[in-house]
Structure 1
């Protein structure tokens, strides 16, 4: 493995001079010498040891992007997470920083990782709200959370109007003549996001003098476990002729569920109209194309990074909490029901 000493010997300069070039302190080195050193670095394929450097340098230029992991699941199997984190990484790199992706199962693991790599800041996705206060206490670096409904007041967060999304879904189905509706997604107690989407859906039904039968609330422990979605689809198919419309809390679940329902004798949207959430690219690849509640994932990701770097540059600046709007995108997965003849 090539070292700074190897490069210095070949260039005929001190190790400190090579270190200045590697770290971008070119003002301390003549242009001619810097160019010679850069050529040697490239030829020898030298890779700086950033982990070692971060232990001794307060400016590690590392931003930790932390995704809460459960069991043995890969969070990037969910296209929502993949699209969001991809934009976050790109935006961090545009700032001249390095993005370190961590899939963590506990607050203690997260704290240890932040200390080990001397991360300058952190972005969190999928943290349970009851863990956030503990996380904020464990580390004092700038942090921004995504989609948090934590009651911690000293917190920077970027989210969307999940409650409005639930209401929009219910309103659209009702306006198209659907009266017996289902709600499909993870437990509402699992995250604030699902709770808000459920509350909006439920409240819109209530205002329209409709009810949500507890039997028509179908709960998934995971949105990427196809076998679990398959079991749920078989269960939903038994209500053919009773349930006419359903709100699904993610396009990912909807994409799996459409195939399962079709395999079990249901036609979409003739037998069951569906509305998803997120407006992922997969919506246009399904048959029928999925009507969904749209959020701007790119804007959410970019705003998250912007807020983090504002706090990095001005640690005493106020915490920021931003809620982005959502809208309904109409496609082909909802069919109007004829009004009953009085």
Structure 2
């Protein structure tokens, strides 16, 4: 492994001179010496230590991407796409991202200082968790898809309720009057609760009652498969199901088929996300698409404004929600005659 001393020997200078050039302190050396050092770095293949640069500059330029959950990070299509976009954008701004799965979120956030990170984007949290996390006084944090109404909390959201409304209006337009919602509902405002609220209220405006008769705790493919048997056993059978995530809807499609039901002839299904999985299901899933690139761009811009520009956190804590749109596939048809 090439060291700083190897570069110094190749350039015929001291290690201090090499350090000055690599740190950008070229005013301390001649232009010719700086050029010799750069050429020596290239010929020796020396890679400067990120940790050493951070210490010398007193900035690490590391942003933690904290994924709250059971430790099996990146199993969610949403989380994988979001983290990928965040990493790309942070790199373009000269930052390094550090992905940290958090089984104990409070302890993880409290330890962020020890990782020498400058800020954090925290994924999969509820509004009730934010105040305790902010009290840890670790580093500036942004909470994605969070509905906390707390001064000093940076949050970025998708237009979840609007997505639920779009799903309901599409089903109503196709003639459905017996639709249910499938997603994990909680006692606090969350992404899934907002999607359910928009869906429910749109049906109420039309004079129809939507329900959520099947309780689940996760938006995974496996949860959708398991829920299908319970939905197939409902009497009367609903004519349509709105799932709060595409992964969940994909599992539901598989489970309904296994139960002997056809989609959309017997039951129509609509999802939420617009990810690749919606395009490879049979039938192709009708879904509510969210713009992950836009959400990641908003997240990075808001956090770095707080880190770099001194923007008051409380002054810009809730930017406009990232818009959504209906993506028509093949999983929604007219209601079956009962």
Mapped to 2, the partners of 1:332 and 1:211 lie a distance apart of 25
- Give, in angstroms, the shift of residue 22 of structure 1: 2.9
Any idea what the Cα deviations from partners look like across 1:144-176, whole Å, max 9, x if unmatched? 221110121222221122111112212221221
| 8 Å contact kept, 1:291–1:332 | yes
Q: 1:46: Cα distance to partner?
A: 3.5
Q: Give the Cα separation in 2 of the matches to 1:314 and 1:79.
A: 32
**Superposition map of 1:212-251 within 5 A:** 212-213=210-211, 216-224=212-220, 226=222, 228-239=223-234, 242-251=237-246
Q: TM-score, normalised by structure 2?
A: 0.89
2:139 equivalent to 1:136: no
Q: Which residue of 2 aligns with 1:319?
A: 316
Change (3 A) 1:331 1:48: same
- Is the contact made by 2:283 and 2:331 (CA closer than 8 Å) also made in structure 1? yes
Aligned residues: 334
1:189: how far off?
Answer: 3.6
1:212–1:34 distance in 2 versus 1, CA, 3 Å: same
Find the partner of 1:273 among 248, 258, 268: 268
Return closer, same or farther for 1:316/1:231 CA change in 2, 3 Å cut-off: closer
Write the distance in 2 (CA, Å) between the matches of 1:271 and 1:25: 71
Structure 2 runs not aligned, ≥5 long: none
Corresponding residue of 2:149: 151
Q: Does 1:252 align with 2:250?
A: no
- For residue 108 of structure 1, what is the aligned residue in structure 2? 107
**2:204 alignment counterpart:** 206
What is the match of residue 66 of structure 1? 66
Q: Does the CA-based 8 Å contact 1:66-1:123 persist in structure 2? A: yes
Task: Spell out, residue by residue over 1:233-291, the C-alpha distance to the aligned partner (whole angstroms, 9 max, x if none).
Answer: 22222237621101000011111221121122111111110111011122222221111
Aligned 8 A contact 2:113 2:138 in 1: no
For structure 1, which segment, 161-170 or 6-15, has the greater mean C-alpha deviation from structure 2 after superposition?
6-15
Give the direction of change, closer, same or farther, for the CA distance of 1:104–1:24 in structure 2 (3 Å limit). Answer: farther
- Kept in 2, the 8 Å contact 1:240–1:271? The answer is no
Aligned twin of 1:178: 176
**Which stretch has the larger CA shift, 28-37 or 270-279?**
28-37
**8 Å Cα contact 1:142/1:315 also seen in 2:** no
Cα distance in 1 for residues equivalent to 2:6 and 2:17: 13
> How far apart are residue 190 of structure 1 and its match?
6.9
